[in-house]
Amino acid sequence: QSVLTQPPSASGAPGQNIVISCSGSRPGPIIGPYGVTWFQQFPGTAPKVVIYSSDRRPSGVPDRFSGSISGTSASLTINGLQAEDEADYYCASWDTGLNFRAFGGGTKLTVL
């Protein structure tokens, strides 16, 4: 089934900007009708949506978080990194061709 690839780790100092990528082995999921969802997960807690439909932000999520798509890849950008942003981040998308929800392997973000 389709696979989404993320870097296993990323790091940055407070105040820096960080970009986490998510690339698809098939173009369909990334550019499909539902786009890409990004989740933030702290240890021992359930994932929470920070970006949906590739570039939209739910209410309550700081505007430091943004999402974008370029070709068959999606990106999550966090501007002005803060210590509280240290968490695992996952991308996900619905593959309409395979009727399957694919998740990226996750990126562990460390704030230095």
Partner 1 sequence: EVTLMEAGGGSIAAGGSVRLSCAASGFNFGINVMSWVRQAPGAGLEWVAGIRTTGGTILYADSVKGRFSISRDNSRNTLHLSLNNVRVDDTAMYYCVRGMYGGSDEYWGHGVLVTVSS
Distance, in Å, from the CA atom of 66 to the CA atom of 50, rounded to the nearest integer, reads 8
| 68: contact with partner 1 by CB under 8 A | no
C-alpha–C-alpha distance, residues 104 and 24, integer Å: 9
Is 104 a binder of partner 1 (CB under 8 A)?
A: yes
**Residue 19 vs residues 7, 10, 69: alpha-carbon distances, Å:** 10, 8, 12
Closest approach of partner 1 to the CB of residue 72, in Å: 17
Site string for partner 1, 22-61 (x = CB under 8 A): ------------xxxx-x-----xxxxx--xx--x-xx--
**Considering the complex, what minimum distance in angstroms separates the CB of residue 37 from partner 1?**
4
How many binding residues for partner 1 (CB under 8 A)? 28
What are the residues whose beta carbons fall under 8 Å from the beta carbon of 89, sequence distance 6 or more? 6, 20, 38, 39, 40, 41, 50, 76, 106, 107, 109
106 lines the binding site for partner 1 (CB under 8 A): yes
Q: Site residues (CB under 8 A) for partner 1? A: 1, 34-37, 39, 45-49, 52-53, 56, 58-59, 90, 92-94, 99-106
